[in-house]
Structure formats: structure tokens, C-alpha cells
Amino acid sequence: MRSLRPGILARRSWVCMQCRRASSSPAASHNPKTRLPDFPARTRFAPSPTGYLHLGSLRTALFNYLLAKRTGGQFLLRIEDTDQKRTIPGAEQRLYDDLRWAGLQWDEGPVVGGPYGPYRQSERTATYRCHAHDLIHDGHAYRCFCSADRLDTLARHRSQAGLPPGYDRKCADIPAEESEHRAAKGESHVVRLRVEDYPTFEDLVYGKTGQNRSSNKLDLIERVYDDPILLKSDGHPTYHLANVVDDHLMEITHVIRGTEWMASTPLHVALYNAFKWTPPRFGHVPLLVDKSGQKLSKRNADIDLTFFRDKQGVFPASLVNFAALLGWSHTKKSDVFSLDELAHIFNLKITRGNTVVAFEKLWFLQKAHAQRFAANGGPEFDDMVSSVSNVVESTTTPEQLSRMIQPRTLPELITPLLQADAKSFTNATEFVNRNATFFTTTLERPPYTPTNQAQAATPAFPISSLHTAAATLCLVPEPHWTIGTHRDNIKYYDGASVVLELNPDAVDQNSDPEKTRVNADKTFKKELYHYLRWALSAGAPGPGIPETMVILGREETLRRIREARELTADKRESNPVTARRARERSKPQSSPSQSQSKGQDRSWMGTLAPRA
Ligand code: GLU
């Protein structure tokens, strides 16, 4: 009967026996540096539908996925729903949706099927019973008919005596025939594994590991054993039995899971030994803790994956990238990786000890991925455009919006804005808040205040010099209204003359005149940028000035520059001396620098074009 275990006929040899045997030896067939196997790994993610995917379980799934992909193996999904009482309705579907959202598509498992199914433990009960009976037959397990009351009294007695819990093996020596007979009559019982000592094992992350049973003097008189339950009185398996049987039958070669399972692994290895099976290789990944050392747990709603996705608008690429770096180290220069890139470089160099989760890194990665999407286009960028569009539409009146975007469509306005400011993108809502001035025609500017540097200058810059510079930049006709043109024009605008004419003493006879000019130009440009940002976007951070001018469009830019000029008109009048100088300076021939523009066609600038 033993050869008729359900599921056994479906077994297929994905990994040759030699490799399987070799993989049982700690050093052999694993690269000592990367700890990667030299054969395709079959890994699995085995969640219980008692909760949702959270940061820690996403990382576990990811490491298993990456190990399989890196070695050309398979990644399985198995639903461990042995604890039906704690199963949350809908959790299984959410797990599928969340894994797919993260890009972790399983090769075998529920929905997609596979040769080792079914992949839901509640559908495999007969298989577990069959294997439990094999162990009873071989003497590695026995039926225990002790009542709950008896076990309770035993536990209380041991606790009062300050002894560790355990079972006194009252039922271990019931003759096989009697045990069969009582079970056949329907007497309630569990099946226990007979364990003398738990074996140690070689963990891929922690090295040789295991647990020694602490012996106590009283143990000699009242000896107890762990003898864990494999099959419960309702005939259903415990996690340990189902987990080991499935990993074996599904030919799993590597089990990567959280350190919270490490204490169970010696028991699992004992089970493999009892079955005379080669255990898979285990690698336990450290606990995730917050900055104060507190464990992050799935009961903490803050780290439920939907929190990141739905509330924070985090991209799957950023979250996966973030999860990958939790405890795993690499030698690349940058930390920014797509899932595919991770699959090419992943290894099992996982650090021991708790991993502190610092969410600043997540936002850094989010901005980095936003920049990648903006640079490459594609579906991720389309999603960014539509999420920003949705926010704008829900926060702006249609009239205002149509006045603002004309003659473009909303995505036509948002696309260049995202391309120019992707470096700041955390999520659509924050992006729209930061760039709110692009979605309104009524700018509310605070009163204009020059930069500290300009205020300190003697004499201070006249505002008219900034008005003139801004007006000059606006002379560009529509066909030339591009980022490149504006960038050049700002660059070539002769700011040095403005400063040096105001303050001739700045020219120190002993210092390098070119250096003096360069510094003077820098001072003016700094103020000009500051003024233009105030004029065009009320001083809000966002894309650079040339980009802003293009995104706003010529008409709106001109309107804002005019408006800004009117708002600062009083200041222009306040200093007659500097106003006169500025007027002189704004004469056509003293506009953009002459020397640097050689070779460029600036005929469109009319009289403002630099002289040849
Ligand atoms: N069902 C267990 C869990 O919920 C799986 C542990 C393991 O990977 O062996 O995490």
C-alpha cells in the first residue's frame, strides 16, 4: 500500500538524483562565495491564508522567486491552509493579486496548475494521512489516545514543578495491533512523531545550527519527550507534517523562509530522516525590525502590502527593489534594480541578525524608478501619467483645467511635466501638490524677496534688471520655444555687466578679470533663476526654469512674467540711480553676450541678437 501515496505518480524528476544527493552535503554543489547551487533550484512560497502579504512575506516570496530565476529553476506557490479556523475569507485571492502585482508570477501552483498538484494543502489530506501511517508502520510514529484532560493535568504539573512541557510517552508502547484496533473502533487519537534528539543542520545563511534539548535533573525521574503531533484528532495534518511531505513530493530543493521558522527546522529534518528522504537546503532570512528594534509583523497594518500600493502609491518595482535589499547585499555600485536585473544578480549572501527597515530608502528607490520610467516610457510611465491625470481631474474645476491645458490634452501637459520632475515623484497626489502651479491660471505668489546674496550686494540689484532679463527671454517666438533655446539664452545672458556696472569697485585690479566676470555672472544668474521661479511658479520647487517655460507654454509664460513685473513695479521705481543704469543696460546692444553665441542662428532674436 505504501507505494500508492496520492500524488506520487505525478512526480517528475526536475533535478537529477546525483544533484539531489550532492545538495544534501553542505559544501558540495553550492558555490561557497555566492552560496548558489550549481543546479536549477526548485523553490516555493508557502503562505497561510490567515493574513495578507506584508513586507516580510513579500521578501520571503521574492528571495525564493529570485533564487529559482537566477538558477534557471522553478518557483512554486503552495497554499498552506491546514489551519482552517484561522483562514480569512478572501485572503487567498488577495495573495494571488498581490504577488502578481509585485511581478512574482509562480511557475506552478494554484490557478496555473502543475505536475505536483494540488497546490492547496486542504486538498491533500489523504496524502498526509498516508504518510503518517507509513511512519507508524516503521515505528517512527505512534498513535496517542491520551485525553485532553490528561494532557492538561500533565502540563499543569510540569509547569508547577518549573519543568519544560513535554509528553511522557504513555501511549508510545501500545502494541501495534491494539493501536490499530482502537483506531478502527473510532477512538479519538493523534499521531505523534517519536523523537529522541533533534538533528542539527547546515543553514545556508546561519551555518551549522540546531537545538539541544536542555536536560534537567528531574528529567531523570519524570522523563518527557517532545514527540510532536503530526496528525490531529480530526485527521488533519499539522503544519510540520504537511510542510515536509509537500516539500519532498514537490521536489523542493531550497527552502528560504523567515528565522521565525528556524526553531521548527530540526523537527523537519527529523521528519525527513524518519522518512529516509534527503531534506532540501534551508536558508533562514533575518527578522525585519523597525528603527527601535521592534519586530515588524503582519498584524501591523502599516506594512501590509496594500498600504504601500493603495495608500502610498508605491510602484511594484520600488517595493520589490526595497524588499530585495532587506538583508541581502550585492557588489554593484547602484542599489536601483528592476526585478529582471535582480534575477540576474541575486545570490544567497544574506546577512545574519535583524534587518532594520528604514523607509527613507523606499522613497529614494521610488524616485529612482520614477526617473527610469520617465526616461524609458512604456506601460509604467503611462500608469504614472494616468494616475496624475486622475488626481488633477479630481482636484481642479473643468473650466480652470481647460483654460490651463489648451490647446493640449491633460496627458500632453502631464507627460513633459513628469519627464522634467520625475526625480521628485513619490506618488501622484504629492506630485500634483508639488506642481500645483501648472494646473492653475491664478497664481498666488508671496511678496517677492530677493535672495540673501542679492540683498547683501551693494548696491542691490535693481528689479528692473531682472524684468529686462525675463522680458528678453520671452522674445523667443513659438517655433523656437524649446528647452534648449531657453537654456542657451539664460546661459548667454550677460549677467556680469549688470553686476559690474552697478559695482565697478568689484573689479579688483590685481585679480583675474575673467574670474571676476564669471563670478559676477553667477551672482546675477542666481538671482535671475530665483526671480523667474517666483514669477512662473510662485517660488515652488519643480522642474528647471527652461522646462517650466516649455510646459507652461509661451502664452502662459508671457502672462506670468507680465503679472510678476506688475507685482514688482514699485520696487523698480524705488532706486532711480540703479533704474537708470538698468535702462541703459536693457538697450538692445547690451543684451545677450556676444562672444559665446558665435556660430548660432539667432536671427529670430531681431535686435536682441548678439552682434557677430
Ligand atoms: N505556512 C508557513 C507560513 O505561513 C510556511 C513556512 C515555511 O515556509 O515553511 O509562513
pLDDT one-digit tens code per residue, 75-115? 999 999 988 889 999 999 999 999 999 999 999 999 999 99
How far apart CA 460 and CA 462 sit, in angstroms, is 6
Same domain, 471 and 596: yes
Q: How far is the CA of 424 from the centre of ligand 1 (A)?
A: 38
Q: Please count the other Cβ atoms lying within 10 Å of the Cβ belonging to residue 334.
A: 8
pLDDT digits (tens, 9 = 90+) for 473-483: 999 999 999 99
Residue whose Cα lies nearest atom 5 of ligand 1: it is: 46
Percent of the chain with pLDDT over 90: 67
Assigned domain for 403 exists: yes
Summarize pLDDT for 558-581 with one digit per residue, the tens.
999 999 999 998 544 444 445 555
- CA torsion sign for 338, 75, 359, 263 is negative
Ligand 1 centroid distance, CA of 241 (Å): 12
- Give the domain extent around 497: 463-608
Q: Name residue 574's amino acid.
A: S
> Can you tell me the mean pLDDT for 167-177?
94
Q: Are residues 478 and 581 in the same domain?
A: yes
Q: Which atom in ligand 1 lies closest to the alpha carbon of residue 57? A: 10
Are 562 and 488 contained in the same domain? yes
- Across the range 534-540, mean pLDDT stands at 96
Ligand 1 centroid vs 66 CA: distance in angstroms? 18
Closest ligand 1 atom to 264 CA: 9
Burial (Cβ within 10 Å: 0-12, 13-18, ≥19) of residue 338 = middle
Lowest mean pLDDT among 61-65, 295-299, 358-362: 295-299
Beta-carbon contacts of residue 312 (< 8 Å; ≥ 6 apart):
426, 427
Measure 355 CA to ligand 1 centroid, in angstroms: 19
Bridge partners of residue 45, in order along the sequence: 77
The tens digit of pLDDT for each residue in 117-156 reads 999 999 999 999 999 999 999 999 999 999 999 999 999 9
Residue 446 lies in a domain: no
| Gyration radius of the chain's alpha carbons | 36
| Whether residues 103 and 157 fall in one domain | no
Q: Distance between CA 45 and CA 323 in Å, rounded?
A: 15
* Nearest to 485, CA basis, from 557, 413, 542, 381: 557
Q: Distance from the CA of 435 to the center of ligand 1, in angstroms? A: 45
Pair (407, 521) in one structural domain: no
How many domains does the chain contain in total? Answer: 4
Tell whether 227 and 284 lie within a shared domain. Answer: no
Cβ–Cβ < 8 Å for 29, 154: no
Domain boundary among 190, 214, 231: 231
Distance CA 480, CA 484 (A): 9
Longest dimension (CA), the chain: 115
Report pLDDT digits (tens) over 392-444.
Answer: 999 988 888 888 888 889 999 999 999 999 999 999 999 999 999 999 888 99
Residue 450 inside a domain? The answer is no
Q: Quote the ligand 1 centre to 257 CA distance (angstroms).
A: 7
Pairwise CA distance, residues 461 & 582, whole Å? 9
508 assigned to some structural domain: yes
Q: What residues does ligand 1 touch, defined as CB less than 6 Å away?
A: 46-48, 80, 243, 257, 261
Q: Do 158 and 265 fall within a single domain?
A: no
Residue with the three cell numbers 504577488: 99
- Nearest ligand 1 atom to the CA of 80 is 1
| Upstream peptide bond of 118 is cis (omega within 30 degrees of 0) | yes
Q: Which ligand 1 atom is nearest residue 239's CA? A: 1
For a substitution probing ligand 1, which of 84, 238, 243 has the most ligand atoms within 8 Å of its CB? 243
Mean pLDDT, residues 348-359 = 92
pLDDT at res. 13 = 40
Q: Between 55-70 and 316-324, two packed helices, what is the crossing angle to 10 degrees?
A: 80
Q: Give me the mean pLDDT over the 317-335 stretch.
A: 96
Taking the centre of ligand 1 as the mean of its atom positions, its distance from the CA of residue 65, in whole angstroms, is 15
Position 300 in a domain: no
Ligand 1 site-directed mutation target among 44, 64, 239, 271, most atoms within 8 Å of CB: 239
Ligand 1 centroid to Cα of residue 240, in Å, is 10
Cα 47 to ligand 1 centroid, rounded to whole Å: 5
Q: Same domain, yes or no, for 485 and 541?
A: yes
Mutation probe of ligand 1 site: the residue of 67, 122, 261, 284 with most atoms within 8 A of C-beta: 261
Cα separation, 494 vs 513, in Å, equals 15
pLDDT for residue 502: 74
Distances 64 to 35, 36, 285, 377 between C-alpha atoms, Å: 14, 12, 11, 30
Instruction: Report whether pLDDT(240) > 70.
Output: yes
Dist. CA 83 → ligand 1 center (Å): 12
Q: Could you tell me how many residues make up the chain?
A: 612
The answer as to whether 486 is a domain residue is: yes
Place of cell 474645476: 397
Instruction: Judge whether residue 328 has pLDDT over 60.
Output: yes
From the CA of 46, give the closest atom in ligand 1.
5
For residues 599 and 520, membership in a common domain is answered with yes
- Cβ neighbours around 318 below 10 Å, total: 24
Assess if residue 332 is contained within a domain.
no
Which band of pLDDT confidence, cut at 50, 70 and 90, is reported for residue 297? low
Q: If you take atom 6 of ligand 1, which residue's CA is the nearest one?
A: 46
Domain boundary among 231, 258, 277: 231
Candidate of 52, 80, 262, 285 to mutate for ligand 1, largest count of ligand atoms within 8 Å of Cβ? 80
Residues 521, 592, single domain; the answer is yes
The residue that leads in pLDDT, 593 or 88, is 88
63 has a pLDDT exceeding 90: yes
CATH number at residue 194: 3.90.800.10
Is residue 224 domain-resident? Answer: yes
CA of 9 to the centre of ligand 1 (A): 25
Same domain, 398 and 508: no
131 and 95 belong to one structural domain: no
- pLDDT-derived band of residue 609, with 50, 70 and 90 as boundaries? very low
Residue at a domain's end among 250, 271, 289: 289
